Amino acid sequence: MAANRTLLMLPGDGIGPEVMGEVRRVIDWMDGHRAVGFDVDEDLVGGCAYDAHGVPLADAAMAKALAADAVLLGAVGGPKWETLPFSSQPERGLLRLRTVMGLFANLRPAIVFDALAEASTLKTELVAGLDILIIRELTGGVYFGEPRGIEELPGGGRRGVNTQVYTTEEIVRIGRVAFELARKRSGRVTSVEKANVMESGVLWREEMTRLHDTEYPDVALSHMYADNCAMQLVRRPKQFDVIVTDNLFGDILSDCAAMLTGSLGMLPSASLGAADATGRRRALYEPVHGSAPDIAGANKANPLATILSYAMMLRYSFDLGQEADLVERAVRAVLNRGLRTADIMQEAKTLVSTAEMGQAVIDEMAALSN
């Protein structure tokens, strides 16, 4: 069906094209059966873009990404391109997308599907039913702050410097994303910093509190120090709903939360930019995993992280909550039926290929729609 929603697909390298191929089939099914269609365009990013154009993201692809309502990316990288100069490396393509699109909010859900709860390193009862969302500020903080560098000291030795810096504007815009998403979930936000030892943390806490009191009093806001949050994530993760934090703490805490789920092939993510006058946000959706060169082309990759990234896109870029639910319920049903790709294989379950997993999700969507 013709649609006004535009989507740019960037499958990338390694298993990227395989997992994205399954998403393409899910998109086609949605178009045919739920009248949820997209004008889909496709282009190159990463090593394959370097092979074709000599750069990891050509200007034409960048322009398409800026014009699209949403971008869905597979993965980039692989041994073939590892020796390229830094500026030509596949990951530079991804970084260019994030920077030019102004993607300052990184959303990483940590969801434990009941059928996979045993795959976690934590006790099953601690993680079964877990569904939390970590929102990480992506373009500020200590990874970008100035001054930075390594300098020689007059008396010998050297000094390494990085600067943790946040402004009111940066804190408020990531805070708004957190409060607004919490309203669509259970209405609870935990804001995480180190206000006990860092001035940037004091400011973070004050600005979050002010934003909450003035614009989002209906959401329950609590504050937590980052070290305590790390502890609580492995002690009692289900106490959280939405966690919002800075770039550095978010980097660490989102990986920690991801591991609660026990399976890289299941983790989706989204990165969002600022809303324009019409409320539209630039957005990039991608699985958390990489290009898995060790299994590329073998029809073994788990497509569920990418299919779940597509579900996030339906929810966050297009407000299609019912369709997103349908995809997520289908994934749950497939797992409950005992189907597993190799990475999440368990005893007495049925091993399936990438394509069989994609088809099973479509079959379940059809069954759930009847």
The residue ranges that bind ligand NAD (CB under 6 A) are: 15, 75-78, 91, 94, 264-265, 286, 289-295, 301-302, 305, 341, 343
The single residue of 39, 51, 218, 255 carrying the catalytic annotation is 255
Active-site residue, 31 included: no
Closest approach, Cβ 269 to ligand NAD, in A, equals: 9
Going through the chain in order, the beta strands assigned E by DSSP cover 6-12, 39-42, 70-75, 105-111, 131-137, 149-152, 158-161, 188-193, 220-225, 242-245, 268-275, 281-287, 339-340, 350-351
- Pick the closest to residue 23 from 71, 72, 66, 61 (CA basis): 72
Rounded to whole angstroms, the Cα distance separating 299 from 20 reads 12
The single residue of 218, 227, 294, 319 carrying the catalytic annotation is 227
127 vs 304, beta carbon nearer ligand NAD: 304
Active-site residue, 184 included: no
Phi, psi of 149 (to 5 degrees): 140, 180
Rounded to whole angstroms, the Cα distance separating 308 from 155 reads 55
Closest approach, Cβ 61 to ligand NAD, in A, equals: 15
The single residue of 64, 80, 143, 349 carrying the catalytic annotation is 143
Peptide bond into 237 cis (omega under 30): no
22 vs 207, beta carbon nearer ligand NAD: 22
The type of residue at 304 is L
The single residue of 41, 114, 131, 251 carrying the catalytic annotation is 251
Closest approach, Cβ 81 to ligand NAD, in A, equals: 8
* Token pair for 315: 């929810």
The single residue of 43, 50, 166, 194 carrying the catalytic annotation is 194
Question: For residues 94 and 82, is the Cβ–Cβ distance under 8 A?
Answer: no
Closest approach, Cβ 114 to ligand NAD, in A, equals: 20
Q: What is the dihedral of CA 75, 363, 36, 286, to 10 degrees?
A: -10
Helix (H, G, I), strand (E, B) or coil at 48: helix
Closest approach, Cβ 34 to ligand NAD, in A, equals: 26
Which residue's entry shows tokens 């660490």?
252
254 vs 302, beta carbon nearer ligand NAD: 302
Which residue's entry shows tokens 């269609």?
37
Query: Strand 39-42 vs strand 242-245: parallel, antiparallel, or unpaired?
Result: unpaired
211 vs 327, beta carbon nearer ligand NAD: 327
68 vs 97, beta carbon nearer ligand NAD: 97
Active-site residue, 194 included: yes
Closest approach, Cβ 236 to ligand NAD, in A, equals: 28
Phi, psi of 250 (to 5 degrees): -65, -35
19 vs 27, beta carbon nearer ligand NAD: 19
Active-site residue, 285 included: no
Active-site residue, 251 included: yes
Residues with a catalytic annotation lie at: 143, 194, 227, 251, 255
